[in-house]
Each structure stands twice: as C-alpha cells, then as structure tokens.
Amino acid sequence: MVEMERRLTQRKLDREMRPFRWAGREPNPTNALSRTIRQALSIPVKEIAEKMGVGRSTLFALEVSERDQTISMRSLARIAEAMGCKVVYGLVPLKDKTFESLAEERLWRKVLGTGTKGTKRQGIANRE
C-alpha cells in the first residue's frame, strides 16, 4: 500500500512540476526575477518600498539578496505581494528527469548495491 501511494505521489509531483521542469531548462531561470518583474511592469521602487513599509535601500538590498540566492521566502513573498503577485516555487529533478525516474534509479542503486559513494551528498542520499 505504501509503495502504491509513493508511486501515485511521484506521478502527481511530475504533473504538478512539469512547468517548473520546463523553466529549469533555462540557466538561472529566476535570477533577479523580482527586479525583472518590477521593471517589466514599470512599478517604481518607491511604490513597492512604501507598500512593504521599508526604505528604497532596503528594497534594493532585497533584490541583491534574491540575485545572490540568499533572500528568505518571506521577504520574496512580501516583494511579490507589493507588486500584485505571489511566490510559487518548485523543486525539480536535475537533467530534465522525472521524480518517477529518480525513484527508479534509487531503487536500482539499492538493489545493485551501487549506492552514492563518492558524492558530496552521500549522507543525505542514504537517509530515508
């Protein structure tokens, strides 16, 4: 029963994350996205900063932290809301794979005993 639920969840994730996999093909698909959207919508920095209750310099700092991938989800959501948007994020397998194929690869590695030796994430990959 658990295995059947796991497979159904994998398929559901593959369906739901399909648009994100497509976006993931782009190098740095969300690099500086809030700034890009702000500029595309012609929203003045002052307007967004006022809606957020912060100064312009704080908004610029947040945009830099987004570009550097250090922004918090909460801050990103506040910027998005100030622009009339919302944050929707996804995690997708690398190399245009599906969750179903990743699960199958993991199963085969386990069956064959090949594991993930030599990888940086060995401790994480082997925990289940």
pLDDT 10s digits, 65-98: 999 999 999 999 999 999 999 999 888 888 888 9
Confidence grade of residue 122 (pLDDT, cut at 50, 70, 90): very low
Q: What is the pLDDT of residues 44-62, one digit of tens each?
A: 999 999 999 999 999 999 9
The answer to whether the pTM exceeds 0.85 is no
Q: What is the pLDDT of residues 64-73, one digit of tens each?
A: 999 999 999 9
pLDDT at 116 over 90: no
How many C-beta atoms lie closer than 10 Å to residue 63's C-beta?
A: 20
Q: How far is CA 109 from the centre of its chain?
A: 26
| 18-90 CATH, one of 1.10.10, 3.30.1490, 1.10.3470, 1.10.260 | 1.10.260
Question: Which pLDDT belongs to residue 117?
Answer: 54
Work out the burial of residue 44: count CB atoms within 10 Å of its CB; fewer than 13 is exposed, 13-18 middle, 19 or more buried: exposed
